[in-house]
């Protein structure tokens, strides 16, 4: 073991680091695959088979000769991934590089086609499982003393990682009886400045990092722990886990450190090395498998949320997380310190009339939805299909708003620039349950290769997220944007997340393929969900599961071009029989190559998609057909002075058919939380109630009863919590019993 020595700082332990590197074994084998040269097949290169719609952006150099033929259709190029885990999903991202080559067309290279009927695999498929139970030759230790320093469960230590110094909240200490090697297992924490711009760079502010594997069924805090050998331990640090907002509990309380001080650099270094650490956030990344995670690929889903009260009490028993002074970002520091603001946790968990049985038995109000940069109303239509009430929408395009209003007559419309809403009007008009913002995305798109006059304005719009969320007082916030924002512009993406977190919201994001949700065109998009945790805690909605897939997925097959356009009536607007019919479907002088519409899917529908052509190869698609490919209802009304204007509205719109599933997930979360069917973590609560009771959650995870109300039994269902039953006396009132039975029926139906 390397020699250790005390430093001049007393508690700090210095050590010589080991240079040995451990390489984990890769035990899995790829699926059998076949290689097809699509350049020699009979399939036109402007389309993609429905059963193999790997949506690969045109990130490769192209042969100029093929650009005219395929520039408006799916790019059937080869992915640079060779692992089958990436081939079986349409939404897996690029190889993790921040900047990919600019797309200039397509490249004639073969593509791997996954011909496996069922790519589903059992847990791990024989792969090496991390964080296995401590068994022989390993033995667990209660504590370990290092030159007078006591290391035990709940101790925070600083350790030397590959590129920097990170931190470990110790959960287990163990020794290898064969080699006498001492190791520590626990939760991994990093400084906020290493979160790729997701959080501001604030001194001694940490984030808890959880890297999870989709094929690992163990609890998050179990599988995400890391192992650190003794020789990598640097020192013991003081850590505060809290759900209170910055700067409470940090070293800044009572200390004024400014850059104009002569000893600023020395003081800052001392604080960094020995000062108090605070962790307020948990950053979770989900990977398809351990192979994906260890290879450095990007996560398929991520979440950044506030630390929850009590969730680390099992590890840090001496420092329970308290949330009695959680406050709004709008409160001053003096107000927070004096505790004059209303307690957030008490407000969201205390007994209230909203949680009483008569309140729960009333018909719940509809969930309201509002849209910013709404365009022609694709997202509003999806929201209406999900059951939400579309309250208002704003956009600067008059023609697009006219289209929206003609289909949503009860929605308030505002033709304004993003920065001007709500302006001098009554701020209450902006209040809504769900706020969706679809900021201009052209500048972030992989297809954006030439600078435009509005690039600066469009890219700066994303900085208005905080203001719009705070003004709307939204419970849930949604964003839909190009996947290029996440993959190619990490700086702007970090700003987008920071704006949401600054507004007091927990947030999760994922790149999804809208074809997996019912539309007949390939459209890969970044989806962001957030839910407020400041002032009024609310569960974060989960992403919906795919509704369509490839053969072997167990889902209905992806919808083809034929599925989308075959049901259009001849008299549909912006179609064949209008007075401008010839212009809308002008025949080609030289017919294009026909294709089988029943087995093909169109490329991503954008505002620049006028050259998509009909399966017969004789003409282009009409605007109505393009709208159907993008998931609009067949009777949706579009207003515009030209075909180009209408195609622009369609291409810029969020596909309603797919979007309804995402809004429905948010609506269900809000409705279930209002009805006390789920708690603030999103876990379902199944209750049998008899009496006018309050089911307000306590920070400890229990429930409270008002003194005048009695309950017969209550069942709490959680992911890691056994069913609990609490028996109470019978109710004295027949009137209350009758009302209670109705509530029981509603609860059981929901199960």
Sign of the Cα torsion 731, 734, 735, 737 reads: positive
Confirm whether 279 is a catalytic residue: no
- For the chain, state the CA radius of gyration: 28
- Dihedral pair phi/psi, residue 418, rounded to 5°: -55, -40
244 contacts 316 by C-beta, under 8 angstroms: no
How far lies 73's CA from each of 15, 58, 64, 276, 488, in Å? 59, 10, 15, 56, 22
Helix (DSSP H) and strand (DSSP E) numbers for the chain: 20, 25
How far lies 334's CA from each of 330, 331, 337, 607, 736, in Å? 12, 8, 5, 51, 47
Residues whose CB falls within 8 Å of the CB of residue 89, separated by 6 or more in sequence, listed in order: 54, 288, 300
Out of 156, 441, 604, 666, pick the active-site residue.
Answer: 441
**Beta bridge mates, 478:** 436, 529
361 contacts 739 by C-beta, under 8 angstroms: yes
123 contacts 326 by C-beta, under 8 angstroms: no
717 contacts 668 by C-beta, under 8 angstroms: no
Q: Which of 515, 508, 451, 475 is nearest to 658 (CA)?
A: 515
Instruction: Tell me the pairing of strands 233-237 and 226-229.
Output: unpaired
How far lies 569's CA from each of 308, 563, 625, 628, 650, in Å? 54, 14, 11, 12, 19
Residue 408: how many CB atoms within 10 A of its CB?
20
Q: Which of 655, 674, 681 is nearest to 368 (CA)?
A: 674
User: Which ranges in 15-115 belong to alpha helices (H)?
Assistant: 64-70, 84-87
Instruction: Tell me the pairing of strands 143-146 and 205-213.
Output: unpaired
Active site residues: 441
């Amino acid at each position: 073991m390397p020699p250790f020595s005390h430093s001049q700082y007393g508690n700090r332990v210095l050590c010589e680091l080991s240079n040995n590197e451990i390489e984990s074994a890769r035990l899995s084998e790829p699926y059998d695959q076949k290689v097809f040269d699509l350049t020699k097949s009979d399939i036109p290169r402007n389309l993609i088979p429905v059963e193999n719609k790997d949506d690969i952006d045109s990130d490769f150099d192209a042969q100029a000769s093929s650009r005219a033929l395929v520039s408006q259709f799916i790019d059937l190029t080869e992915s640079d991934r060779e692992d089958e885990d990436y081939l079986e999903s349409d939404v897996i991202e690029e190889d993790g590089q921040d900047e990919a080559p600019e797309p200039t067309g397509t490249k004639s290279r073969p593509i791997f086609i996954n011909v496996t009927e069922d790519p589903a695999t059992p847990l791990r498929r024989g792969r090496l499982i991390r964080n296995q139970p401590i068994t022989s030759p390993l033995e667990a230790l209660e504590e370990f003393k290092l030159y007078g320093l006591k290391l035990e469960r709940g101790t925070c230590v600083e350790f030397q990682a590959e590129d920097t110094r990170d931190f470990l909240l110790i959960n287990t200490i163990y020794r290898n009886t064969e080699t006498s090697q001492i190791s520590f297992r626990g939760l991994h924490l990093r400084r906020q400045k290493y979160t790729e711009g997701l959080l501001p760079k604030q001194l001694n502010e940490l984030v808890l990092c959880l890297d999870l594997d989709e094929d690992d069924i163990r609890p998050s805090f179990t599988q995400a722990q890391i192992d650190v050998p003794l020789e990598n331990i640097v020192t013991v640090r003081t850590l505060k886990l809290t759900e209170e907002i910055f700067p409470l509990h940090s070293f800044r309380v009572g200390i004024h450190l400014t850059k104009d001080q002569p000893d600023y650099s020395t003081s800052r270094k001392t604080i960094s090395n020995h000062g108090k650490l605070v962790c307020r956030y948990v950053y979770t990344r989900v990977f398809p498998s351990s192979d994906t995670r260890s290879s450095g690929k990007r996560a398929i889903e991520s979440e950044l949320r506030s630390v929850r009260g009590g969730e680390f009490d099992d590890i840090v028993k001496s420092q329970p997380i308290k949330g009695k002074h959680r406050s709004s970002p709008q409160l001053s520091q003096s107000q927070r310190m004096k505790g004059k603001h209303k307690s957030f946790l008490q407000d969201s968990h205390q007994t209230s009339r909203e949680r009483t049985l008569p309140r729960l038995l009333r018909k719940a109000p509809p969930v309201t939805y509002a849209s910013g940069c709404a365009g022609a109303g694709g997202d509003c239509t999806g929201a209406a299909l999900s059951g939400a009430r579309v309250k208002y929408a704003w956009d600067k395009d008059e023609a697009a708003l006219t289209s929206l209003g003609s289909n949503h007559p009860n929605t308030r419309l505002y033709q304004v620039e993003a920065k001007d809403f709500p302006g001098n009007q009554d701020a209450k008009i902006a209040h809504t349950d769900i706020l969706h913002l679809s900021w201009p995305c052209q500048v972030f798109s992989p297809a954006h290769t030439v600078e435009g006059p509005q690039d600066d304005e469009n890219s700066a719009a994303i900085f208005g997220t905080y203001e719009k969320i705070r003004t709307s007082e939204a419970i849930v916030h949604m964003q839909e944007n190009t996947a290029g924002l996440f993959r190619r512009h990490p700086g702007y993406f970090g700003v987008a997340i920071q704006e949401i977190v600054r507004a007091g919201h927990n947030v999760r994001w994922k790149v999804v393929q809208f074809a997996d949700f019912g539309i007949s065109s390939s459209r890969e998009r970044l989806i962001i969900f957030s839910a407020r945790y400041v002032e009024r805690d609310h569960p974060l909605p989960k992403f919906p599961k795919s509704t369509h897939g490839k053969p072997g997925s167990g889902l209905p097959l992806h919808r083809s071009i034929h599925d989308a356009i075959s049901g259009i009536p001849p008299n549909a607007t912006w179609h064949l029989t209008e007075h401008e019919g010839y212009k809308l479907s002008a025949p080609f002088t030289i017919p294009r190559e026909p294709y089988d519409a029943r087995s093909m899917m169109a490329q991503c529908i954008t505002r620049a998609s006028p050259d998509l052509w009909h399966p017969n190869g004789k003409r282009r698609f009409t605007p109505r057909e393009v709208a159907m490919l993008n998931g609009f209802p067949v009777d949706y009304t579009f207003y515009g002075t030209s075909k180009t204007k209408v195609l622009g509205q369609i291409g810029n719109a969020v596909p309603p058919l797919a979007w309804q599933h995402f809004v429905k997930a948010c609506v269900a979360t809000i409705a279930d939380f209002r009805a006390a069917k789920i708690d603030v973590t999103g876990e379902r609560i199944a209750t049998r109630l008899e009496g006018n009771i309050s089911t307000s959650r306590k920070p400890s995870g229990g429930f409270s009863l008002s003194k005048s109300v009695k309950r017969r039994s209550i069942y709490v269902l959680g992911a890691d919590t056994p069913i609990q039953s609490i028996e109470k006396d019978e109710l004295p009132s027949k009137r209350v019993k009758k009302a209670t039975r109705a509530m029981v029926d509603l609860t059981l139906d929901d199960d």
